[in-house]
Structure 1
């Protein structure tokens, strides 16, 4: 299979929901093997990986050499893909010790290759290193592990603080700035009590967070530190071995990155915020949060949970065959929202401020 051109195809910028409403592109294991060999000079054993928007494949060249081949969603703006690629290159140059994927160049030296097939939209193909480790969701939670996540996230945000790109402000449904846009999707939550709970926290977001957004520190953030995107070392269950999937990166308030990661920490501990507080305190020790950022963390964490149940519920109705993968984080989010509902905003604010001072 040969590339017909190297320039990026012209694809109109999608609206905020079109990307998540577009099916994962069709591409076979055999196709991936052929492209890996002819374009990236990799003779590999290929297997398919799950993905929300892209078609992903695991390339095993040898016992120690593994890669991921990513075929972009047809609705993805090529400039957004370039944004992701450039960010990984930037991180490698600023903090090479951060465990993030490295970009493999094609045989022509380019970081991206355009796939053109008759009757199909152009799609961009990339190859990244495959990081070894156990997904966080399979690990036994611990205070040390949560603190490790917070510290690594802070280092990642420091590395990204000096990065910019023309596509950094692209619109993404998973961007907390646009949380209000998913209100209409809550009709896909069949249980009236659950739907009312999601609406309550979305109301809180609009009342308490939106007015403060213009005053918050903002930069490019990872925006998706969920348990599927954090890898833990097989040799040391307290060490982070990888941070993967930069597909949801956006330019947004810095505190949003902390809130997203904290939204996936356990709420079934002695205090519903204890898991989140472990991560937040470790982040704050590396990259201090401002008082106004800490004040809205509770609202932002809850809003991320609302995005999880709202967007996932909607997408599960669109793609029932991929339902299990799409809904993988929903039960945790519902548990979190139910426990958060037992707290007042003031109580949560005091708890997080104390955590940042090391007093909990």
Structure 2
């Protein structure tokens, strides 16, 4: 699977016309929002309410069945009490529209969706207290539990065997390691992949399967002040585009890794996130044993794939490298501390 997806570059004028044509709304304000390889806009129409317009890159837009399942999943978790966005129907009653337009690459087809606006700020902007991290872990587990009840004719499309960001596919990174030539971290990444093959893949048959959100990160979780606790509560779950068939332990590892990125004491993050997750889904022994390596594996995926994406899209370097800048230091720190030391912090004895 290639990562070369040209990010759409629609102008605000084009976006305004699109919103009028498809949804019968007249934007009074349009703001660009950050995105990895799609294009997102905040839209406030004169008719009221606030929305997010998502325009997918032309490559991912070809897979309408996958996007349909992801859009359904957002609505399903929302119906089951979690704060996710939902898609607004077009004038013709569709939850997404395939639009053929030119935004600088010639005429191509782009999937367009208008989503309800989730209030709050990204969790990256607030202090990550143990209480909030506990809630993040709990939310990750609840979300995967809800996914398990989901029924859809195209659910099997989430298998995604070649998906580079799946924690089942860490060995795929070997094809991209040359992007780290000359970087001392390349040696650590190679070692992590080796340990993944010998210690994780051999135990995978004992992991419990589920559907993963797959990208429960510091920019995809929104929070608002919580008057009752004086802290913050989760007010939005964003971006279901990395959903894939995986395992509960994958969701936990991904969540811990991204929460570490924003924390002054990254190693400490694992304990409250794990406790929150286990309050819903307790881990079995093999899952516990592999958690450390799976967290390291996600750091490796993030680092290698971001560096590779920069070679394709140097103009988007600032956004692409957000996670990797801190991630490099944390990966090194975790590797040097080692599994045993880190697990002493994460797995608190109940005695």
For 1:105, the equivalent position in structure 2 comes to 89
Distance in 2, Cα, partners of 1:80 & 1:270: 37
Distance in 2, Cα, partners of 1:69 & 1:305: 30
Q: Is 1:52 matched with 2:47?
A: no
Q: Secondary structure at the match of 1:283?
A: helix
Q: CA deviation at 1:344?
A: 3.3
Q: Secondary structure at the match of 1:297?
A: helix
TM-score (structure 1 length as normaliser): 0.87
Q: CA deviation at 1:215?
A: 2.9
For 1:294, the equivalent position in structure 2 comes to 288
Q: Is 1:264–1:332's contact at 8 Å kept on the other side of the alignment?
A: no
Tell me which moved more, 261-270 or 79-88: 261-270
Distance in 1, Cα, partners of 2:244 & 2:220: 16
Match among 153, 157, 178 for residue 187 of structure 1: 178
For 1:92, the equivalent position in structure 2 comes to 78
Q: CA deviation at 1:143?
A: 0.9
Distance in 1, Cα, partners of 2:133 & 2:126: 11
For 1:284, the equivalent position in structure 2 comes to 278
Q: Which runs of 5 or more residues in structure 1 are unaligned?
A: 1-15
Q: Is 1:230–1:240's contact at 8 Å kept on the other side of the alignment?
A: yes
Q: Is 1:201–1:302's contact at 8 Å kept on the other side of the alignment?
A: yes
Q: Is 2:218–2:262's contact at 8 Å kept on the other side of the alignment?
A: no
Distance in 2, Cα, partners of 1:38 & 1:271: 49
Match among 148, 156, 159 for residue 166 of structure 1: 156
Which string of whole-angstrom CA distances, capped at 9 and with x for unpartnered residues, describes residues 1-52 of structure 1?
A: xxxxxxxxxxxxxxx2x2x211112322112111111211222221221211
TM-score (structure 2 length as normaliser): 0.89
Which string of whole-angstrom CA distances, capped at 9 and with x for unpartnered residues, describes residues 205-239 of structure 1?
A: 11111122233211211111111111110455421
Tell me which moved more, 306-315 or 333-342: 333-342
1:242–1:55 Cα change, 3 Å: same
CA RMSD of aligned residues (A): 2.3
Match among 38, 50, 54 for residue 21 of structure 2: 38
For 2:99, the equivalent position in structure 1 comes to 115
Pairs aligned (count): 338
